[in-house]
Amino acid sequence: MNTAPALEATGLTKRYGRRTALSDCTLSVPAGHVVGLVGPNGAGKSTLLQLACGLLTPTSGTLRVLGERPGSGPAQLARVGFVAQDSPVYARLTVSEHLRLGERLNPGWDAPLAARRIARLGLDPEQRAGGLSGGQRSQLALTLAVAKRPDLLILDEPVAALDPLARREFHQGLMEHVAEYGTSVILSSHLITDLERTCDHLVTLVGSRVRLAGDVEDLLATHFRLTTARRDPGSLPPGLEVVREQHTERQSTFVVRSVIDVPDPAWEMEPLGLEDLVLLYMAQDPQGRTAGARRKQDREQGVRP
């Protein structure tokens, strides 16, 4: 049994001239998971996914997808399905012509699977793709990706332009496929509510760097909002990593990453939701520092606010 990670990067960097799109990315994404890839615009999400598909080559560092170099040959390409941001389909081709094209281009094409999906979606096989709604085009693009029966499915914000109903139908179709075939998925999205319903692993990119990665359940179980009487963060016990701090005259509020039990029953420890967790790390500056860390460094350097 192949236990290679779905994606494994070491020091991965991609530059376009003077602009760095992805910087020193070291990451291991386990196979068999639905992975949410989040971050602000320009963080490097699309670059990472295009590198994983073999559409781009790294400037430096290494990248392995399913244990192999991306785009290393037809066999490796056949193991990866990709749906880009604009759910690309050919406007002049009919739905059935798309399926015939998919069959000719992909040696592992599952024609019954494609036919079942098209029938269940109620798509007219003779309808040209240019006449489909945005949601229907996205579903057609997803059908083309899953019918090649990939081991890894990469989705780059495929539902960003869809209405809520079309988004829900897309995700339902995706999760049905994952449940039936066990496909690994990496899904880039700005829509945290969608990720909450589908993803069990999270990767956050900010400023072209990985800021947070891990199983969603573990990340939520170790991040808390801690409220105490006013105190310096340096006085907190070892095992509480301060990610953000706020202070009033009498009270301190810390967001901490904790690997210990609460040492003081008087402290209020409130768990974070996924959206709060993502926004917390997205608020870091390009050097990965939180607001509290920036203030601390400024104080040490004598910089006035």
* Tens-digit pLDDT profile for residues 1-19: 457 899 999 999 999 999 9
Please tell me whether residues 13 and 144 are part of one structural domain: yes
As a whole number of angstroms, the distance between CA 203 and CA 298 comes to 29
161 and 111 in one domain? yes
* pLDDT at res. 48: 96
Q: What is the pLDDT of residues 90-127, one digit of tens each?
A: 999 999 999 999 999 999 999 999 999 999 999 999 99
- Asked if 194 and 160 count as a contact pair (C-beta separation under 8 A), the reply is no
Q: Which residue has the tokens 């996924």?
A: 274
127 with 229, same domain: the answer is no
Domain boundary among 207, 236, 253: 207
Instruction: Summarize pLDDT for 224-280 with one digit per residue, the tens.
Output: 999 888 989 888 888 889 999 999 999 999 999 987 776 677 778 889 999 999 999
Does residue 55 lie in a domain region?
yes
**Final residue of a domain: which of 146, 179, 207?**
207
SS3 184: strand
Average pLDDT over residues 31-44: 93
Question: Is there a domain that residue 185 lies in?
Answer: yes
The tokens for 187 are 């899904």
Domain total for the chain? 2
**Residue labelled with tokens 């006035």:** 304
Q: Are residues 68 and 190 in the same domain?
A: yes
- Mapped onto helix, strand or coil, the DSSP state of residue 225 is strand
Q: Is residue 213 part of a domain?
A: no
Q: Within a domain: residue 124?
A: yes
* Structural domain boundaries, residue 165: 7-207
**Same domain? 233 vs 146:** no
Q: Which two tokens stand for residue 259?
A: 């690997």
* 36/157 Cα distance (integer angstroms): 10
Q: Pull the structure tokens for residue 265.
A: 């029953």
Same domain, 91 and 232: no
Strands (E), 160-234: 184-188, 201-206, 209-215, 223-229
**What is the reported pTM?**
0.86
Domain membership of residue 236 (yes or no) is yes
Task: Tell me what the mean pLDDT of segment 44-70 comes to.
Answer: 95
* Whether 186 and 73 share a structural domain: yes
108 and 25 in a common domain: yes
Q: Are residues 48 and 179 in the same domain?
A: yes
> Which residues partner with 206 through β-bridges?
209
217 in a structural domain: no
Q: Identify the CA nearest to 146 among candidates 87, 82, 217, 55.
A: 82
User: Contact at 8 Å (CB) between 154 and 82?
Assistant: yes
For 70-127, the DSSP string reads TTSSHHHHHTEEEE-TT----TTSBHHHHHHHHHHH-TT--HHHHHHHHHHHT--TTS
For residue 150, give the CATH number of its domain.
3.40.50.300
pLDDT recorded at residue 287: 52
Looking at the domain assignment, is residue 12 inside a domain? yes
Residue 305 within a domain: no
Q: Which of 207, 242, 273 is the last residue of a domain?
A: 207
Q: Alpha helix (H) ranges present in the chain?
A: 45-53, 74-78, 95-105, 111-121, 134-146, 164-181, 192-198, 216-222, 274-282, 291-300
pLDDT single digits (tens) 199-210: 999 999 998 899
- Residue 202's nearest CA partner among 41, 22, 27 is 27
Residues 261, 286 share a domain: yes
121 with 253, same domain? no
Q: What are the φ and ψ backbone dihedral angles of 259, each rounded to 5 degrees?
A: -120, 15
> Is 90 exceeded by the pLDDT of residue 79?
yes
Residue 301 has a pLDDT of: 43
- Tell me the helices (H) and strands (E) count for the chain, helix number first: 10, 13
Question: Do 142 and 171 reside in the same domain of the chain?
Answer: yes
Query: What does the DSSP 8-state code read for residue 217?
Result: H
CA 251 to chain CA centroid, Å, is 36
Q: Where do we find the tokens 């989040």? A: 38
Helices 95-105 and 111-121: angle between axes, nearest 10 degrees: 160
